[in-house]
Structure 1
Amino acid sequence: MSTDKNDTSFSASEAADARGDRSDTVSALERGISVLRCFSEERPVLGHADIARMTGIPRPTVNRLVATLLSMGMLKAAQVADRFMLGPGVVSLSRVFLGSLDVRAAARPSMQAMAEEVGASVYLAIRDGMEMVLIEACRPRSSMLSARLDVGSRAPLANSALGRAYLSALPEAQRNQLIDSMRLLRGPEWDGIAPGMTRAIGEARRLGYCLSLGEFHREINSVSVPFIGPDGEVMSLNGGGAAFVFSEERLRNELAPRLHDIALTIARDIGGHVPTPTPSPG
């Protein structure tokens, strides 16, 4: 799903350095997972050299990691020689994870109804590292233009509405820690990302929702609202679509209230809650 502009992939060592928890990790496992995370919708087939370049892991080590993942069914050989794809072992794990998420069953009817009634794509996401990963996706049966996102697709925390809504609902200390990590990982581009993110987080805390107007996908506008599960996990609901259909005014006046109502319904059904907006004084 990521593009060069919004590519948030980084090596396992960089992620651990940003978290400051390398002493608690197993480096071999960390490297194996970083290999799996190289594969995406835009990069479904990769070779040894591609993986080495993307992870920063030495080529001989990549060769051994790939061989191990092949033997365990996490990768499989592609039709092109010395190229690989995600294997059925990954699908099995994904099914177990998704099947355990009762929130999806609670969310889907309302999400699909909204998608059909307003013509928007509607998503539900949780955080994974420095990205939001979709765990449910509903689209209208006919749409002029929509983001090509599905379950498993990812969106960056900093410049997607999903990520900004998530950040707004975190305790301040946890939010600041994540923002510090993103600042390190995004490098020079951070100065261009941070102002919009900061404004959106502030808006979400005041109004209960925030926007991304062409900042993640240039032709897509969207709005997101956060809610919190019974175990304290923050999740985000998102609605939107083609910018020429979903103007800022329509997002604020039509989609945001609808998403808020859906968030309230889901939270009630699973025993969670929706953060209470805190309007600015005056």
Structure 2
Amino acid sequence: MAEQDEPQNNNQQAQRPDTVSALERGIAVLRCFDEQHRQLTPTELARLTGIPRPTVTRLATTLVTLGFMTQEPGGERFMLGPGVVSLARVFLSGLDVRAVARPRMQALAEAVGGAVYLAVPDGLDMVLIEACRPRSTMLTARLDVGSRAPMANSALGRAYLYALPAPEREALIESLRLARGSDWPSLEGGLRRALDEAARLGYCSSAGEFHREINSVSVPLIGPNGEVMALNCGGPAFVFTEPVLRDSVAPGLIELARVLAADIGGSVPPPRS
């Protein structure tokens, strides 16, 4: 029997008969958690997902039973559970590119004194699957495996978008526009400039647009099966100035992408102009 508090979800299911709406909503609950939202109440989950509070509470309770979430003793806040770690380990262990990339990423991090990341898309974000930092300095962004970067204003996301076929890229940009709402006018200009930059130079940049006072550049990397990833390198803006990124970091990152592509049987999208 259809639930009385979920007419909008039933409509979605009717439009997409090949999906299971209850599973979609459960995954939506899990996606609410990130570095800034480690503990969430049912009310907060309902606000973030748009799912009615009674339904989101049932979904969260089911996820607790399955081990994917936990609930604070005597309280109402939910957290991610150990079940997600097991799935993440299986996923990461299957990414052979990490093992190939890690030593080369670490070498670049040491050479330029900045953090080097490898990321894959997840919804409208990029998720880090490998992170290397120079041992000689603490002046790097403290992102790690599993951290997320917004696609619209991070260099990683912009490099990923650049590598997509034009129709797919524009469809995803439209999804970003709808998702970011009133923030979109302040984001679109930087995104379009970065895509033009990639077409001319082969890399995208982000100057303080994702993390304040952090500048970085990214290069797309296409795997042997056509999967699109992105490599990133950068650090504090007062060290990684525009000339440093252009003259020192970007050439090293592009060369890293080319070497990795050769190692894994992939490719690097060339500049288009």
Q: What TM-score do the two structures reach when normalised by structure 1?
A: 0.89
Partner of 2:122: 128
User: Are 2:107 and 1:110 equivalent residues in the alignment?
Assistant: no
Partner of 1:271: 265
Partner of 1:159: 153
- Alpha-carbon distance between aligned partners in 1 of 2:26 and 2:203, rounded to the nearest angstrom: 37
Mapping of 1:83-232 within 5 angstroms? 83-232=77-226
- Alpha-carbon distance between aligned partners in 1 of 2:219 and 2:165, rounded to the nearest angstrom: 16
Secondary structure, aligned partner of 2:84: helix
Secondary structure, aligned partner of 2:70: strand
Secondary structure, aligned partner of 2:79: strand
Give 1:71's aligned amino acid. T
User: Are 2:19 and 1:25 equivalent residues in the alignment?
Assistant: yes
Gapped runs of 5+ residues in structure 2?
1-7
**C-alpha displacement at 1:79, in angstroms?**
4.7
User: Are 2:16 and 1:39 equivalent residues in the alignment?
Assistant: no
Gapped runs of 5+ residues in structure 1?
1-12
**1:132-181: per-residue Cα shift (whole Å, max 9, x none)?**
11110111124343222111111111111001111111111111111111
Partner of 1:242: 236
**C-alpha displacement at 1:47, in angstroms?**
1.7
Secondary structure, aligned partner of 1:238: strand
Secondary structure, aligned partner of 2:168: helix
**C-alpha displacement at 1:80, in angstroms?**
6.1
Secondary structure, aligned partner of 2:209: coil
Alignment RMSD (CA, Å): 1.7
- Alpha-carbon distance between aligned partners in 1 of 2:26 and 2:102, rounded to the nearest angstrom: 33
Secondary structure, aligned partner of 1:24: coil
Identity of aligned residues (%): 64
Give 2:179's aligned amino acid. L
**1:227-258: per-residue Cα shift (whole Å, max 9, x none)?**
11111111100000000010011001111111
**C-alpha displacement at 1:45, in angstroms?**
1.3
Identify the match of residue 48 of structure 2 among 54, 60, 63: 54
- Alpha-carbon distance between aligned partners in 1 of 2:181 and 2:16, rounded to the nearest angstrom: 20
